[in-house]
Each structure stands twice: as C-alpha cells, then as structure tokens.
Amino acid sequence: MTNIVLLGGNGYLGRELSKQWLARNPQAALYIVSRSGNNQFQNSQVYNLKADVTDFNAVNALLPDQVDYIVDLIGAPAKDPQQLININQKPADVMQKIAEQKQVKSMGIIGGILGPKSFVTIKAKLIRQLKQSTIPLAYVEPTLVYGAGRSDSMAKMVPLLKFFGIFSRKLKPVTVTSVV
C-alpha cells in the first residue's frame, strides 16, 4: 500500500490529482488534509481529514506512521503579508517537516508564475527552500489552470490567455490534467 498525503487536496487540483493517482496506482491510500475535512471526491481509498494545515502537530497526529509521498496544494494570493505567509509558507513548512520526519520518497508543491508579485515571489522562495531538503522535490509552476469543469471568472479568461500565450509562456494557460 502506498500512502499519499495531500495538504489541501479537496480543491480543484486536488480532486484531479486524487483521480489520476488512484487510476495509476489502485493500491494507493490518499490522506487528504484540509481545514474543512470535506471533499467532493469520494472513494473508499480516500480519507478526508480535518486539521489546520498550518499546525504540524495537528496534521501529523492524523497521519499513518508510513507516508510515501506528500504534496502541498495550498496557496493563493493575498494582500496582507501575514495572510500571504499563512496561506502559502506555513503549509509548505508543515509539509517539509513531515516529509523529513517520515522520510518520504518525494514531496511536491504547486508554484505559480502568474499573479501578484508577492504571490509569485513567495512561491518561488518556497521552491528554493524545499529544494534544499534531503527529500526530493517535484514541482510545477503553472499559469492559469483550466478544464475539468472549471467555470469561474478566471476560466473565462482562457481564450484571451491562449492568444497571449502564443507570445509569452508566462501567459499560456494549462489544463488541469497537464498540471497534475
């Protein structure tokens, strides 16, 4: 059995990652940790856990002794610097501490190259920080992610960004399946 921990895995990317991971490894157990503990994706191999993802002790207490992979899917822009740290930095710190303590095979994070400068900067800083760990890091740095039913205001920008993406990679939107 492969044990996988997804921090914040009940969102748009997390649901797609869960589906694809279970399709590729039917023996996997996914421990999805979020503040709500709710998830639209239901499967007998998915364990939805409620915890403050910025609190190492709270998260660690819910996890199995053996963890093979851990992925931080939490992140968002914020105007307030402290909120930016709480949303982006603290969950990454929790992931790194769990990864190193449990000696996982690999950890992963979603970066970002499109958005407010403060968001792009903190995501780049986190990737540099996590690369310094003894645990291997897998990361992606997408622009706008679309597909698989996403229909919010950002998804409406996809046609325009596809056009501008011809001229700049930083503006080219990517499908959620490609990111995952």
Measured torsion, CA atoms of residues 165, 171, 173, 179, in degrees rounded to the nearest 10:
120
Q: pLDDT for 80-117, tens place per residue?
A: 999 999 999 999 999 999 999 999 999 999 998 888 89
Please report where in the chains the tokens 């992963």 appear, as a residue.
108
Name the band, by pLDDT with cuts 50, 70 and 90, for residue 173.
confident
| Cβ proximity of 86 and 122 under 8 Å | no
164 burial level (CB within 10 Å; 0-12, 13-18, 19+): middle
**pLDDT value at position 52?**
96
Q: pLDDT for 55-75, tens place per residue?
A: 999 999 999 999 999 999 999
Mean pLDDT, residues 22-31? 95
pLDDT over 70 (residue 13): yes
Spell out the domain ranges in the chain: 2-141, 146-180
What is the C-alpha separation between 119 and 116, in angstroms, rounded?
5
Q: pLDDT for 127-160, tens place per residue?
A: 999 999 999 999 998 877 777 777 776 667 777 7
Name the band, by pLDDT with cuts 50, 70 and 90, for residue 165.
low
pLDDT over 90 (residue 163): no
Q: Please tell me the pTM assigned to this model.
A: 0.91
What is the C-alpha separation between 36 and 49, in angstroms, rounded?
8
Fold of the 2-141 domain: Rossmann fold (3.40.50)
3-state SS string for the chain:
CEEEEEECCCCHHHHHHHHHHHHHCCCEEEEEEECCCCCCCCCCCEEEEECCCCCHHHHHHHCCCCCCEEEECCCCCCCCHHHHHHHHHHHHHHHHHHHHHHCCCEEEEECCCCCCHHHHHHHHHHHHHHHCCCCCEEEECCCCEECCCCCCCCHHHHHHHHHHHCCCHHHCCEEHHHHC
- Tokens in use for 26? 């039917």
